[in-house]
């Protein structure tokens, strides 16, 4: 017999356990489970979309310069052995990229040098000038990567690019004082845009501190080399026997009705390139670079002598203030000989407004020196 119910308790009619929750409770549980599933699915979908968006952001090339220092080798006394082309090619290839830029409905092709592990690349400004989109392709890869043009210095024909990612192989630059006439050098780049791996050509440092003027482009401090430099090599490295970058290939001598050139190419020397890289980084981070200005018209000498002839002195310019006159022969700036108008223009453009320079002038039989403070180049 069952014990009598306690006071206030309903009597128990049988001893079997309850058969389960009521039907309404089951519906609530089912609804709850479905809701949780939908929320989880929506959360997963949202997470996937957000993940893809973040991945797109991470793949977008940075628009700020790298903070990593440029790798510059210690000074070298020289090289005892000739350059080992295969070994140097293998060493430099991971730091060399092909550059393709969409310009005015066509494609401009060149080469670049990786200069930081987080994706900075140095190339020629004329390769990417006016480009709508720029891509690079690394050695051993089949697909191009998008890059941002961080900054460009047309006057020095150098530009700074950056791709997304990290862990790249930056090139090592030679100590500027270690580059000598007669050194073996090798040019590496994507000559003529040929398919496959980059082309290499071998030569020597033929001369130092050359100046070149083409159109309105004036470069000085150039390395002359007989290593063949072709279209597509522009922006690529000229390296020594240790695989160190001694220059950035930029131009070949042009044929004219008077002059012809054989194996005469030019590279922007490491001594010129290193300070420009730092200036480009500053420019990428918002600092506007102003070119310096002297205020003279120039004409090259035709008698084979050194120096450049002053044909005009603009009013209210540093040249007028110090007393430079038409007919003067400017022979040096800060002790560096000016072999022609290209060298003088490039030397002044390399300076900053406010810099003081010493200009050496020959006036008739008299040698003069003027200390002048340069101003901003007018638009």
How far is the C-alpha of 35 from the C-alpha of 114, rounded, in Å?
Answer: 53
8 A C-beta contact, residue 329 and residue 303:
no
What does the DSSP 8-state code read for residue 288? P
Percent of the chain that is helix, strand, coil (3-state, to 5): 25, 35, 40
Distance from the Cα of residue 329 to its chain's centroid: 37
User: In which region does residue 93 sit, left (phi positive, over 0), alpha (psi from -120 to 50) or beta (all else)?
Assistant: alpha
Local structure of 236: helix, strand or coil = coil
Backbone angles phi, psi at 109, to 5 degrees: -110, 140
User: Can you count the helices (H) and strands (E) in the chain?
Assistant: 6, 20
Tell me, what DSSP letter sits at residue 192?
Answer: G
Can you tell me which residue has the tokens 């580059």? 179
Distance separating alpha carbons of residues 150 and 277, to the nearest angstrom? 11
> Which residues participate in catalysis according to the annotation?
126, 157, 234
The answer to whether residues 374 and 355 touch, using CB atoms and an 8 Å cutoff, is: yes
């Amino acid at each position: 017999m069952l014990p009598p119910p306690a006071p206030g308790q309903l009597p128990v009619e049988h001893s079997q356990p309850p058969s389960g929750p009521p039907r309404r409770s089951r519906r609530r549980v089912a609804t709850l489970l479905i809701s949780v599933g939908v929320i989880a699915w929506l959360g997963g979908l949202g997470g996937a979309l957000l993940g893809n968006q973040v991945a797109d952001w991470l793949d977008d090339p940075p628009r700020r310069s790298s903070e990593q220092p440029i790798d510059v080798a210690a000074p070298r006394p020289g090289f005892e052995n000739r350059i080992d082309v295969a070994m140097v090619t293998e060493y430099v290839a991971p730091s060399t990229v092909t550059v393709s830029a969409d310009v005015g409905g066509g494609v401009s092709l060149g080469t670049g040098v990786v200069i930081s592990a987080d994706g900075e690349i140095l190339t020629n400004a004329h390769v990417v000038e006016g480009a709508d989109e720029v891509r690079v392709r690394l050695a051993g890869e089949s697909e191009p990567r998008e890059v941002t043009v961080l900054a460009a210095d047309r006057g020095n024909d150098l530009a700074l690019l950056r791709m997304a990612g990290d862990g790249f192989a930056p090139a090592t630059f030679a100590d500027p004082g270690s580059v000598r006439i007669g050194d073996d050098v090798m040019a590496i780049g994507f000559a003529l845009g040929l398919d496959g791996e980059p082309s290499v050509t071998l030569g020597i440092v033929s001369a130092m501190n050359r100046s070149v003027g083409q159109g309105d482009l004036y470069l000085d401090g150039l390395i002359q080399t007989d290593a063949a430099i072709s279209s597509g090599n522009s922006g690529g490295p000229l390296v020594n026997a240790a695989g160190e970058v001694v220059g950035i290939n930029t131009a070949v001598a042009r044929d004219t009705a008077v002059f012809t050139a054989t194996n005469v190419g030019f590279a922007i020397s490491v001594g010129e390139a290193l300070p420009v890289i730092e200036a480009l980084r500053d420019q990428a981070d918002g600092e506007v670079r102003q070119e310096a200005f002297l205020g003279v018209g120039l004409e090259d000498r035709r008698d084979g002598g050194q120096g450049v002839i002053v044909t005009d002195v603009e009013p209210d310019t540093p040249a007028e203030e110090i007393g430079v006159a038409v007919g003067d022969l400017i022979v040096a700036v800060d002790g560096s000989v000016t072999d022609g108008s290209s060298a003088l223009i490039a030397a002044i453009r390399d300076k900053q407004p406010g810099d003081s320079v010493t200009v050496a002038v020959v006036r008739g039989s008299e040698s003069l020196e003027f200390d002048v403070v340069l101003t901003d180049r007018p638009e």
